[in-house]
Copies of this chain bind each other. A is one copy, B any other.
Amino acid sequence: MYAVILAGGGGTRLWPLSRPDRPKPFLPLLGERSLLRATFDRVLPALAGPEDVAVVVDRRHVALVRAELPEIPARNVLAEPVGRNTAAAVALAAVALERAGDEVMAVLPADHLVVDENGFRALLARAAAVARAADRPLVTLGIAPTGPETGYGYVVAGDPRAEAGAHAVRRFVEKPPADAAAALLAGPDAVAWNAGIFLWRRDAILDALEASAPDILAAVRAGVAAGAAALDAAYATVRATSIDYAVMEPASVAGRVAMLRADVGWSDLGSWAALRDALVARAVEAGEPAGAVGSGPRRDVGSEGTLVLAGERLVVTLGLRDTIVVDTPEALLVCAADRSQEVRAIAEELARAREDDS
């Protein structure tokens, strides 16, 4: 088994901490380690050695990856000339990493939280066994939903498979509106959140790309075969789309996808509120004060449900409820936790304004 960590993505949802020159995978949001490093540590040593881990990353951030993961061979850092979403990234890893066709590739986003790391490793091992079944399914991990979230895609389970806990996947549902999410949860089918964590044999994903996204596979193959300049040319025109949309949805219709339920304390840390929730849960579990969680020099009196990421300066909070405070040298964000999904739009608007100014 080998692991491909996807370390792309801009991360404007975690503005002002995540920035173009230091996106989310490189932030130590949960403590000392960056999210990328935590993702790497999570698969070692039980599942893979350093030489079995690769990272797909924007060319501008290769040095950051080398600094975070000095153990992995240089050839395992796959630099994209530009981000083109996950379909191209997966195709690049499937083509460029020379592995046997029957080896199982685990695809892991670099910016997630997993609380139960031992459970996660055991789950990956079981998922790899499913991927090795005779029908070579594309395996996805399904997260047990805690509510009708609109920030996640959903996986709808079909018939059970022979492997314990595994099901066929009937269909994928892209991030639904609130009423559709509620209807999914209330419906007759078992559903799960799509974590974006996949396991498949190398030959299976190459076949699936050939079947439903041949243009992407061909472009990446041409780029890899002919060297860096060719990869630039390939990425200049390759279609930017997600692996979910380009491969998993059509493959599920063809009965080629399986899922395993994951109950390992997962979060995509996709908003400040999600990070707040993760840190509050961790504090509660550790028996520590959970009213104002965070990092940096802080002093709190009587706040609840509050996240404070302090920077250089002391941050004093007093009597806040469900509030996010993120202090960086460039900007300060103070927002209601239940509106943290709107941070992305504000960050993008500010970036546009800066461009207009320059």
User: Which residues on A are within 8 Å of B, measured CB to CB?
Assistant: 16, 299, 301-302, 310, 313-321, 323, 325, 327, 329-336, 338-340, 342-343, 346, 350
Contacts and interface: CB of A to CB of B under 8 A. Distances in A.
Contacts of A327: 332
A318 B332 contact: no
A334 B317 contact: yes
A334 B346 contact: no
A274 to B, nearest CB: 16
A325 B346 CA distance: 19
B335 A318 contact: yes
B315 A334 contact: yes
Contact of A332 (B302, B315, B335, B343): B315
Nearest to A303: B336
B336 A315 contact: no
A343 B330 contact: no
A327 B325 CA distance: 12
B314 A336 contact: no
Contacts of A336: 318-321
Contacts of A313: 329-332
Given A302-B339, A339-B302, A342-B301, A314 B330 contact: yes
Total identical chains: 2
A346 B316 contact: yes
Given A301-B346, A346-B318, A334 B323 contact: yes
Given A301-B342, A339-B302, A331 B314 contact: yes
B343 A331 contact: no
A299 to B, nearest CB: 7
Contacts of A342: 301, 318-319
Contacts of A329: 313
B332 A316 contact: yes
Contact of A319 (B317, B331, B332, B338): B338
Given A313-B329, A329-B313, A319 B346 contact: no
A56 B176 CA distance: 67
A339 B314 contact: no
Contacts of A332: 310, 313-316, 325, 327, 332
A304 to B, nearest CB: 11
7 cross-chain pairs, A with B, having the tightest CB-CB distances, nearest first = A319-B336, A318-B335, A319-B339, A314-B331, A315-B332, A316-B333, A317-B334
A325 to B, nearest CB: 5
A182 B310 CA distance: 41
B335 A315 contact: no
Given A299-B350, A323-B323, A350-B299, A318 B330 contact: no
Given A313-B330, A319-B338, A327-B332, 18 more contacts: A16-B316, A299-B350, A301-B342, A313-B329, A313-B332, A314-B331, A314-B332, A315-B331, A315-B334, A316-B332, A316-B334, A316-B350, A318-B335, A318-B336, A318-B342, A318-B343, A319-B336, A323-B334
